[in-house]
Structures are given as C-alpha cells and as structure tokens.
Structure 1
Amino acid sequence: MADLLKVEKLTVAPAAAPSRLLVNNVSFSLSPGRTTCIVGESGSGKSLTALSVMGLLPKALQRVSGDIVFQGSSLVGLSNTQMCDVRGKRIGMIFQEPMTSLNPVLTIGFQVGETLSTHLGLSGKALRTKVAALLESVGIPAERANSYPDELSGGQRQRVMIAMSIACEPAMLIADEPTTALDVTVQAQILALLADLKTRMNMGMLFITHDFGVVADIADDVVVMFRGEIVEKGSVGDVLDRPQHPYTRALLDCVPDAEGRKALKPIDYDWLKGASV
C-alpha cells in the first residue's frame, strides 16, 4: 500500500540557534485507513512534528532539514497560499484545546461552515444543510449550530472541532492530544467516534498522545519519541507486547491496570541518561 504521508529525517530547531535540535532526524510513514500514534511526554517533539507537517511552526522555529511527502508530493517549500489549500481540505487537524481553538464570539455553525465555504465554495441553504449534517455526524444536534462555544461542554466542543476537521473529507487527520482535558467517559466516546470516522472515510490518522492507554485503544502503528528523537516504532502489538527501548518500557510502567493492583513506577531519568536514543 502506497504511503499517504512520509516524513523523512525531519529536523526542527530555533531559528536563532539552529544547532539546538528540538526534533532530530525523525522518519515515519502513514498509510490510508491506518492510525499511527506518536507517543511521548510533553516536550518530546510530538506536536512540533505535527505542526511541521501542517506548515504551522511558530516563526521562532524552523525546519532545518528533512522532507515531508503527502500523497506523493513534497510539502516542503510550498508557499503559505499553497499550504492553505492543503490545510483543512486535504489534511484536517484537531488541536489540543478546543476552547482556545474556537472563536468565542462566533457560533459553532459559522465556524464549521467557514471551512466549507472556503474550500468547497458552499453557501446559503447548501451550506446550512452540510453544517447540520456534520454536527449530527459527530453527535451534536443540528439545532445547536447557533450556539457559542461557551454554551457547550468540553466534550461537545471537541466534537465541533472534529466536525470542522472532517468537513472537506480529508485524506488525513491529525489529532493532537484531543482527549487530554476530558474525563474518561467522554474520552472513550471521542476515541470511538474518531475510530468510526476513520473507518468510514478511509482516512489515515496521525494521533498524538502521552497516554499508552489511548495508544492501546486506537493505534495500528506506534512511534515513541524521547528528547526529540524516535527511540522505537512498530506495530501496536509489537511495541506494547515486546517493547525494546528502556523509555518505552518506562512509559508502559506508568499505565495503571484495570484492577488497580499494579504498582506505578515513575520514570527514572538518571537511569535513562545512559540509554541509547
């Protein structure tokens, strides 16, 4: 199966200090209809990798080297106008915190519809009908289109973000820790919704998380990042059942068992300092 996304030797650093590597020589691929989870702690380079794919790195950071190939064409070197045609239309993205991603003074219907009008040219009744269908598809009643973000719960706001990200039926979806601020019940609902949408739309999904419990629920393939580098990658079965790197094993030791009998172990960074990355 041809790769939907191929990241090759991606390296990111501050523009003012290009030798200080925040993402170092990262390579992985994603196939249509599969979910690749990038897992690691905060600061490991997960979100910077995703923002690099979307061409949304902050101005203070830069891609030092590497290539990002999507549907057979390189995204590196595209102008912002060209990337705007990719973002939202061909690659959707769910950001970490919906309350800061949604505009508080615009209705959710307007915000979902903006993607459709920008990329597909919909307007009037056709636009309203499509917005209603999208909201219904993620479990939000169509009549809530006139609601503002602060009138919705955290789980509902995340569903609105999902509706926005899939509005143009993209080939690929990036989900950047979409369940971090949600309670476990709502988290399970969001994960089930994303898995269902991925299957129905045959999307490739790049899912970023720090939680191996989430990885076990949703991943086909796993990329483990530590200190800006990939330390382990493989199928979810191989990585969970036969972890090879000490950091992967340390992360798995932080996951509680269902019965609550497992003693959780903090990550021993002194021990990891000598580990090969």
Structure 2
Amino acid sequence: MTALLRMEELTVVPVKSPQRKLVNQVSFVLESGKTTCVVGESGSGKSLTALSVMGLLSEQLQRIHGRVIFQGRDLASLSSEEMRGIRGKQIGMIFQEPMTSLNPVLKVGYQIGESLTEHLGLRGKALRAKVGSLLEQVGIPAERADSYPDELSGGQRQRVMIAMSIACEPAMLIADEPTTALDVTVQAQILKLLDELKTRMNMGMLFITHDFGVVADIADDVVVMFRGEIVESGPVAEVLGNPQHPYTKALLDCVPDADGKKPLKPIDYAWLTNGAHP
C-alpha cells in the first residue's frame, strides 16, 4: 500500500542547545485505514514527534534534519500559510487534555464549527446542522452544542475534541494520549469510538500512548521510543509477542495480567550500561 505518512529521519533539537537531540533520526510509515501506535515513557519524544507532523513545535525547538511526507508532500518544507490549510482539514489532532485544549468561555458548538467555517465555508443553519451531526456521531446529543466545556464530563469533553478533529473528515488523525485521566470504562468507549471512526472514514491514525494495553487493543503497527529514538518497531503482534529490545521487554513487564497474579517489575535501566535485560 502507498504510505499516507512517511517520517524520514526526523531530528528535533532545542534552539539554544542544538547538541541535545530531543528526537533523533525517527523514521516510520503510516498507511490509510491503519493505526500506528507510538509508545514510550513520558519524555521519550512521542508528543514532539506528533507536533512535528503538525508543524506546531514551539519557537524554542527546531527541526534540523528529516522529512515528513504526507500524501506525497514534505510538510516540513511548507509555509505557515500552507500548513494552516492542512491542519484540521487533512490532518486532525486530539490533544492530551481536553479541559486545557478547549476554550472555557466559548460554547463547544462554536469551537467545533470554527474549522468547518475556515476550511469548508459553512455558516448559519448548515453549520449548526453539521455541528449537531458531529456531536451525535460521537455520542453527545446535538443540543449540547450550546454547552460550555465545564458543563460537560471529562468523557464528554474528550468526545467534543474528537468531533473537532474529524469535522472536515481528515485523511489522518493524530491522537495524543486521548484517554489519559479517563476511567477505564470511558477509556474503552473512547477507544471503540476512535476505531469505528477510523474504519468508517478510512483514516490513518497515529496514536500516542504510554499504555501497552491500549496498544494491544487498537494498533496495527507499533513504534517504541526511548530518549528520543526508536528502539523497536513492527506489526503489533510481532512486537508484543516476541519483543527484541530490552526496553520493550521492560515496558511489557510493567503491564498487569487480567487476574492480577503476574508480578510487576519496575523498569531497571541496567541494560543501558551492560546491554542485558534484567
């Protein structure tokens, strides 16, 4: 299949300390209709990789090497104006924390409708109808378009974020730890919803997580990151069933089993110096 997204040797550094490589030579492929999970601990470079795709790195960071090929175009070479035409329309993104990503003083319907007006030119009754339809697609009554974020539960706010991200039916969706801080029941509902939307819209989904349980549920392929580098990648069954890198094995040792009998091991970084998995 033709790659929807091809990341080629992406390297990101701080502007003031270019010798520090926060993301180093990261390369992977995402296909339409597939889910690639990027997994690793906090600080491993997962979110920076996602923000690099969207062209949303802060002014303190810069890409010094690599290409981000989306539908045959190198996003890293596009102007700010060209990237604004892609964000929200061709690539949607669900950010980590909906309460800080949503504007607390604007109704959620208005916030969903912004990209529809910007990219599709919808206004008035057509806009309101589309917003209501999007809310219903993610399991929220259309009349809640007039609610403010603090009037919704955490799960509902996350569903609003999903509605915003799919509003223009993008070819690709980036989900940056979208189930963090949600209870396990709501997490399962959100994961099921995302998988259904991906299948129905034939989207490619780049899913950022630290949870191998989530990876096992939704991924087609998995990329394991440690200290800004990919240490292992491949089809999810292969990586989970026969992990090769000590770090991947250590992460899997942290995952509890269903009956709670498996002893959990904290990650021992001794392998960094002796190369052996504890």
Using the size of structure 2 for normalisation, the TM-score is 0.98
Residue 158 (structure 1) shift: 0.2
Q: CA RMSD for the aligned pairs?
A: 0.9
Work out whether 1:215 is the aligned partner of 2:215: yes
Secondary structure at the aligned position of 1:76 is classed as helix
8 Å contact 1:12–1:24 — kept in the other structure? Answer: yes
Query: Shift of the alpha carbon at 1:275?
Result: 3.4
Q: Which residue of 1 aligns with 2:189?
A: 189
Superposed CA deviations along residues 197-230 of structure 1, whole A, max 9, x for unmatched, are 0000000000000000000000000000001000
How many equivalent residue pairs?
Answer: 276
Q: What's the CA shift for 1:37?
A: 0.1
Name the structure 2 match of 1:37. Answer: 37
Pairing 1:71–2:71 present: yes
SS class of match (1:66): strand
By how many angstroms is 1:271 displaced? 3.0
In 1: Cα distance, 2:273 partner to 2:122 partner: 54
CA shift for structure 1 position 19 = 1.2
Question: How do 1:75-154 residues align onto structure 2 when only pairs under 5 Å count?
Answer: 75-154=75-154
Superposed displacement of residue 273, structure 1: 3.8
- Report the 3-state secondary structure (helix = DSSP H, G, I; strand = E; otherwise coil) of the residue aligned with 1:139: coil
Cα distance in 2 for partners of 1:247, 1:76 equals: 30
Is the Cα–Cα contact under 8 Å of residues 246 and 271 in structure 2 kept in the other structure?
A: no
SS at match of 2:192: helix
CA distance in 1, matches of 2:274, 2:23: 20
Provide the rounded CA distance (Å) in 1 between the counterparts of 2:202 and 2:140: 22
1:269 alignment partner, SS class? coil
How far apart are 1:76 and its partner, in Å? 1.3
1 CA distance for matches of 2:126 and 2:42?
Answer: 42
**Which aligned runs of 4 or more in structure 1 are off by greater than 4 angstroms?**
none
Give 1:18 shift: 1.0
- Aligned equivalent of 1:59: 59
Q: Which residue matches 1:161?
A: 161
Conservation of the 8 A alpha-carbon contact between 1:247 and 1:272? no
Describe the SS at the equivalent of 1:267: coil
CA distance in 1, matches of 2:76, 2:160: 30
Letter of the 1:43 counterpart? G
Instruction: Sort the Cα spacing of 1:12 and 1:109 in 2 relative to 1 into closer, same or farther, 3 A.
Output: same
Range with greater deviation from structure 2 (72-81 or 159-168): 72-81
Aligned counterpart, 1:12: 12
Amino acid at match of 1:241: G
One-letter identity of the residue aligned with 1:32: S
SS of alignment partner, residue 28 of structure 2: strand
One-letter code aligned to 1:182: L
TM-score (norm 1): 0.98
Corresponding residue of 1:270:
270
